[in-house]
Each structure stands twice: as structure tokens, then as C-alpha cells.
Amino acid sequence: MPVDVSNLSGGSLIVAWQLKDKNVLIVGGGDVAASRIENILVADAKITLIAPHEGLHPQTKEYIAATPRITYHDRVFAGAGDLEGVDMVLTAIDDVERSREIVALCRARRIPVNAADIPPSCDFYFGSQVKRLPLQIMISTNGKGPRLAHHIRTRIEDSLPQGVENAIERVGELRSKLRERAPGVGGELGKKRMRWMTDLCNAWDLDELSLLDDAAMKKLLDEGWENGQVPSPQDVLPGAKLRGEVALPFSLLVPTVVGFFAGVACTAVAVHRFSPRN
Ligand SMILES: C[C@@]1(CC(=O)O)C2=NC(=C\c3[nH]c(c(CCC(=O)O)c3CC(=O)O)Cc3[nH]c(c(CC(=O)O)c3CCC(=O)O)/C=C3\N/C(=C\2)[C@@H](CCC(=O)O)[C@]3(C)CC(=O)O)/[C@H]1CCC(=O)O
Ligand SMILES: NC(=O)c1ccc[n+]([C@@H]2O[C@H](COP(=O)([O-])OP(=O)(O)OC[C@H]3O[C@@H](n4cnc5c(N)ncnc54)[C@H](O)[C@@H]3O)[C@@H](O)[C@H]2O)c1
């Protein structure tokens, strides 16, 4: 059967764009610019911000004061000269005509550009983001309903397990330790490394992975990787509270204990009142 591609259309390419040390120009300093600044700082890029001081959002002012990673110019956009050496441009201004001009200048120079108020002119859209670094989840409605993206984000945030970021961080550390033992890219060793990591991530749950400390990782690699097997969490994390071990949480323990003694007290009263001697 030929593959059905009829649904493979109408979306975007969602990628995790690596911007470390790249130069991002943000034009405008209002509400939208403040949120752009946050997103770009997270990606470790350098920001040039062009916007008149009187139009700055309080949050934008705070970012400018808080980090040397933002070079601020108190003025309006001055033309092509402002695009010199720039890797990405974001316009967030309340002037659509000027925004269109900036977009045209970027196109001519093949600089990727987002114009907050003109979706058809954007090379890429922003999305609503769950940020539990190193975990990032982007929700895009492809321009249809940004506020809905926000609500969907809230639902996803509520459904994520506690400590998910910790588990990811630990797995990252384990992967680099494994690469030190089994270095190189591709080949048989690369396949074996990937298979072992996949098996481990399938066999352990997020809570268990988040408990991996240096000693546990060493044990896992010494006894597991070196012998071509994936030890269970019980083998590697002695003493830790693991899946399947039911611990009564404090919030349940208190009513249970109180209930038990209340029951004992009631029974005692009843026995006392109705015993034949009274
Ligand atoms: C997700 C989020 C990320 C972010 O900005 O970082 C984001 N917009 C957010 C909020 C938001 N934006 C607007 C409202 C008012 C309510 C409303 O209009 O619905 C609210 C609600 C609010 O503020 O709570 C107004 C608006 N937005 C756009 C236009 C222009 C237009 O549509 O023509 C207009 C003016 C329309 C008009 O004039 O009527 C366009 C875009 N906004 C996008 C992203 C891109 C598509 C995202 C997607 O596909 O989902 C896209 C295409 C371009 C881009 O900006 O990259 C962020 C939520 C973050 C969060 O809270 O988690
Ligand atoms: N994409 C989105 O999510 C989204 C959300 C809300 C609004 N918008 C649109 O994005 C635009 C910006 O929204 P906002 O709420 O941040 O507006 P805002 O009015 O708070 O801020 C506009 C900023 O642009 C600056 N500015 C204006 N002209 C400039 C120029 N030529 N050079 C440099 N700076 C200039 C102003 O001084 C101000 O700092 C608006 O057109 C709005 O309709 C988009």
C-alpha cells in the first residue's frame, strides 16, 4: 500500500533551535518583547534591543538592568545598518508598516524573522511553552488560537510528574559518563550504547531515574553496561523508596491514626455503657 500523505500538511516544523552565542535583534520593548526576551535568554543568545525608553514594559526594563547579555539602544529602528551581524530578528512593535519594512529587509538578507503582529510574514512562530529545564514543551496552534495554546499548556503542566526535570538531568549525566567509557559516533559501539540507554529508560520510571547519584551511576555502568545488561532499580538503589513499595503518605497517615483511636474510644464507651455491670 502506498503511504498516505494526505494529512501531512498544514503544520510547521517544530525544532529546538540552538541559539547559543548567536545575535538576536529585538525591535520593540513592550509586553510581547518582554516575553521574547525571556525565550531568547533561555537559549543563551546575545540580545540587541532597540526601543525608545518611554515605551519599555516594566519587565523589559528589569531584564535590561539584570543582564549584560542585553545590549540596549534607546531609539527607534534605524534601517538596514541595524541588521549588521544579526542572526535572527524579532519585531514586537505597534506599527505594522514599520514591521513590514523590517521583515522585507530581513528577507533580502536571508535573516530569519518573526513579526509578532503579522503571522503571514513570519518565518517561524512562537508557541506556548512548558519550561521545566532541561525539559521544554512547545504548544503551537499554528496561528489559530494562541490563548488556547496557553490553556493547553496549563493542562500539560498539571499532568507532568514532579521531578521530571531531575530525571532528565540525571539521564543526561549518565549518558555523558557512558560516552566517556564507550566513546565515538556511530558504528557497532554506538548502536550498543543507544540500545542500552533505550532499554534502561524503558525499564526504569522517571522517579527511579531521578534518584541516580554518582555512586548509583557507577554501579549501573560497572555492573550493567560492562556486562551487557540493565540492572533493576532495586539492585542499584538500595534503601531508596521505589515503585511498588507502597508508603502511606502523611496526609493519609494522620486521619488513619486519628480514626483508629477515635474508633477505639467509641468502642470503649459503648462497651462501658452497655456492659451488664452498668
Ligand atoms: C503562544 C504565544 C507565545 C508567545 O507569544 O511567546 C503566542 N501568542 C501568545 C498569546 C497571545 N497572543 C495574542 C493574544 C490575545 C488573544 C488572541 O488574539 O487570541 C494572546 C493571549 C494572551 O496574551 O494571553 C494576540 C495575537 N497573537 C498573534 C497575533 C497576530 C495575528 O493573529 O494576526 C495577535 C493579535 C491578534 C489581533 O490583533 O486580534 C500571533 C501569534 N501569536 C503567537 C504566539 C504565534 C502563534 C501561536 C500559536 O500558533 O499558537 C503568532 C502567530 C506569531 C508569534 O507571535 O510568534 C502566547 C501565549 C503564551 C502563553 O501564555 O503561554
Ligand atoms: N504575537 C503575539 O503573541 C502578540 C500578542 C499581543 C499583541 N501582539 C501584537 O504585537 C505588537 C506588540 O505588542 P505589545 O503589546 O508588545 O505592544 P506595546 O505597545 O506594549 O509595545 C510596542 C513597543 O514597540 C516600540 N516601538 C514602536 N515603534 C518602534 C520602532 N519603530 N522601533 C523600535 N521600537 C518601536 C514601543 O516603544 C514599545 O516599546 C502589537 O502590534 C500587537 O498587536 C502580538
- Is the alpha carbon torsion for 70, 73, 75, 76 positive or negative? negative
What's the confidence (pLDDT) of residue 193? Answer: 97
- Residue 3: how many other CB atoms lie within 10 Å: 5
The answer to whether residues 99 and 143 belong to one domain is no
What DSSP character marks residue 161?
A: P
216 Cβ neighbours under 8 A, 6+ residues apart: 236, 237
b or e along 218-257 (b: 16 or more beta carbons within 10 Å of the residue's beta carbon)? ebbbeebbeeeebbebeebbeeeebeeeeeeeeeeeeeee
Q: What's the pTM value of the predicted model, to 2 decimals?
A: 0.88
Task: Report the 3 state secondary structure along 64-86.
Answer: HHHCCCEEEECCCCCCHHHHCCC
The answer to whether residues 28 and 114 belong to one domain is yes
Query: What is d(CA 194, CA 190) in angstroms, rounded to the nearest whole number?
Result: 6
Q: How many domains does the chain have?
A: 3
CA-closest candidate to residue 48, choices 84, 99, 97, 17:
84
Q: With a cut of 50, which residues of the chain have pLDDT below it?
A: 246-254, 257-258, 264, 266, 269-271, 274, 276-278
What's the confidence (pLDDT) of residue 240? Answer: 74
Ligand 1 environment, Cβ below 6 A:
35, 114, 116-117, 119, 122, 125-128, 140-143, 146-147, 149-150, 153
Cα angle: 228, vertex 234, 239; to 5 degrees: 140
Ligand nearest to the CA of 55: 2
What's the confidence (pLDDT) of residue 238? Answer: 81
The answer to whether residues 104 and 41 belong to one domain is yes
Q: Is residue 261 part of a domain?
A: no
Confirm or reject: Cβ of 50 under 6 Å from ligand 2: yes
What's the confidence (pLDDT) of residue 180? Answer: 96
What range defines the domain where residue 28 resides? 23-126
Q: Is residue 11 part of a domain?
A: no
The cell numbers describing 36, all together, are: 521574547
What's the confidence (pLDDT) of residue 265? Answer: 53
What's the confidence (pLDDT) of residue 262? Answer: 52
One-letter amino acid identity for 133? L
What's the confidence (pLDDT) of residue 271? Answer: 46
Ligand nearest to the CA of 90: 1
The answer to whether residues 30 and 111 belong to one domain is yes
One-letter amino acid identity for 166? N
